[in-house]
Structure 1
Amino acid sequence: MIFFFILCLSVFFWVRFGRRQNNSVAFFHPYCDAGGGGERVLWEAISAISEKYPTRQIFIYTGDEASSKEILSRAESRFNIKIENVTFIHLKYRWMVEASTWPSFTLAGQSAGSIFLAFEALLKLNPEIVIDSMGYSFTYPLFWLFGCKVGCYIHYPTISTDMLQKVSKREADFNNSETIANNSVLSSGKLLYYQHFSKIYAFCGNRSSVVMTNSSWTQNHLDQIWARKSAKIFPPCDVSAFTKLEIEQKRIPFQIMSLAQFRPEKNHKLQVEAFKQLYENPNLSSDRSKLSLIMAGGVRNPGDEARVEELQSLISAYGLEKAITIEKNISFERIVELFETSSCGIHTMKDEHFGITCVDFQASGTIAVGHDSAGPKEDIFVDYKGGPTGFLATDAKSFADSMEKILLLPSEKKIKIQENARNSCKRFSSEQFKTDFLYATAKLFK
């Protein structure tokens, strides 16, 4: 027992002092090679720090197997951001935070796995400052214990008051199965589990000196659970490439697009269901052959790939193979092309924390419909000078109805909405993000 204690103490001092890298900033972002909005935040944050603090050494903890050159090349291709001064610390145990590793008690399993992954990270490098940019809040006490200054940018709370309410009301959802929702005993057990989990989550979150959130929805939920005030910093939306696009000239009539990683919460199935209803709409019978939906997005792992295959099967079952196409891991150039040529955009995630794609829709002039909740409702598709900047929907029918309305808008009304949307999205620039991010994190660099 004494030997074990001495061993633990020796490891602690070795990591705390022997692995310490002074003048360093490390980002804990195990999926840095993904192509989503969270990765845009990562690269813009690194860009901001490298410009403000050029002598700082910047590291990224990642579980991606690609080479540094490949990751940076894809970051530039996807986001038009060129990064040079960064070193990657590759982690072997990223599978510990994969949802597939924990089919039951997923939140607890992933959170415990993140602690193990953070310990692996510290064994390889103990930075002066660590910034978690993916929301692995259970790692903060460990980083704090080993002497790191801790900051975080939260895209989505690990557990929210909405999740507690759904379990309490026994509502089935992607994170509350029908089996549990239909059973009072299981629901009571899960509610107790969530309540205890939220208390531990709050304790861990408060080990971070700087807390940033990306939207009104995330801020409200996190502040309530953590009982502290976070800094709301809208994520960077480099819309410069989109605001230069022709608003109307290159639009392909009846072409609809979506852009989202193929994660379960993005609810691509709802897009297919809504498009099916739109396709069968008698008001569009004469234009049915022109209707098309392009579903573009990042595929990060086998789970995402499996969801793509399920979508392909659903599309085939509906006989819509010629009307719906899926494009995986596309380049920034292809993204720009889709935004310039599509006549309608669709974004179906419920309680989307922010929704950078919705901002991109606005900037490009692609009139879009998003889910009537969270970021799209509270921060993005809000009126501009009394006029609409987009549409909101909740289910397949309302999404189909909104897409029909967008596709059949008279030219004058369409241009007015496009102009409103483009002017409204100026609030979400990369420059504003960098200014706010550097202001919020300044205390970490003192």
Structure 2
Amino acid sequence: MPLRLTTVQLSDDPAHDSWKLKATIDINMIRERTTEGEVIWERGQSLGSGGHGEVFLLTRRDSDREYFRAVKAIPKESHKNNSKRITRELSALINLQKFPDHFVSFHGWHHDIANETFYIAMEYLAGGDLHRYIQQDLSRAKENCGVIIKQILDALVVMHEMRICHRDLKPPNVLIASVSPLHLKLADFGISKSTNPAVSCMVSKGIGSAMYMAPELHASVRCKRGDARYTTTVDMWALGAIAHEVFTGIPPFCMPIHGETLTDHSELGSTRGGLCFAPSASTKGNVTLDHKAYWDYYGSTPLNFPDDLLDKAYAPPNLVRFIKELMKVDPEARPNARQALASRWMLESMGVAMDENYQIPQLTSSRMVGLDGGCRASGQSFEPDEFSDGSWRLNTKEASPKTYIKRIEYFPPSKPNII
């Protein structure tokens, strides 16, 4: 007997209710009631699973066409004590629907009251994820490194300026919408969180995946600092780790496993810099996180980023500099997404000519960034409607020297984006 999906109020946000699917579910199919009648979705293969549930494929056949959806099933044990997590994921998916080029499309949610499982229906992308893309052909990934990082940055600009922090940015959560031309979309907002100062800002445990986790997300670091708050710069650290992996095949602070998973954690219980660390689940595929290298970097003065893998992969110096900037230990020293887009390596990847004196613009208000022959930042003010399409244009307000400018809007919050 099919189970009825009942109404569940997740929050006070009426937008959530408007996305509820009218459906019934059994083991092999979902029957969805739409304005055009009943639609039957057949359950297919598992697409993956994690700590917060399983994702499986749904297929609908209509005449000679097939339609697909990816559905995330979140069981009772994952949400019974944390319904806010589902509320945050739904809020992120709904708010990001205005930007379908950057994020997976959201089709709705439903709740199985009998076994207390939530289902979130999303766009299915058959191209897989960025992790598989890297593993399949590292040379191809290296060649497209600029395109990959640019598209992730474009998505982060949207998220961060909407005050949303992803908190679990990693290659498996970057999906391939198209291989040629390469088109990526961000997914999995299960632990995303608003950075609105009105939202609760304290956290009690580490969030995210160890290989891509910024130091300030670790409980030991927060305990030493006496501050459990952090900002959207945790996503920028993760982006630096992704850029490293795209170019070398391995995230930073990681080492390959030869034959078996690393089990010698003899040094991990020691105290370094007043912090006591213990091993965590940090193995993926054929690599594992080198905890000692990670925390040695955290405690080094000056910072000594391990760039040997980048050197072996012949990474351009500006890419190495880009990654080091993103992965600075001090969160306030990392560039934000807008600044990263204006970095030397990123602009070179987009075909903008650079010279050796170019510096990342310090964006502190709405302004124009100008590029002349030396590619220097310009703080010249312009009317609000000028250059609104975001393209590079000749600056007609200055006769000499010849200058090209592009609008970069940056709206600093009245309060820090702390979560």
TM-score, normalisation: structure 2: 0.26
Q: Which has the higher helix share?
A: 1
* More strand by percentage: 2
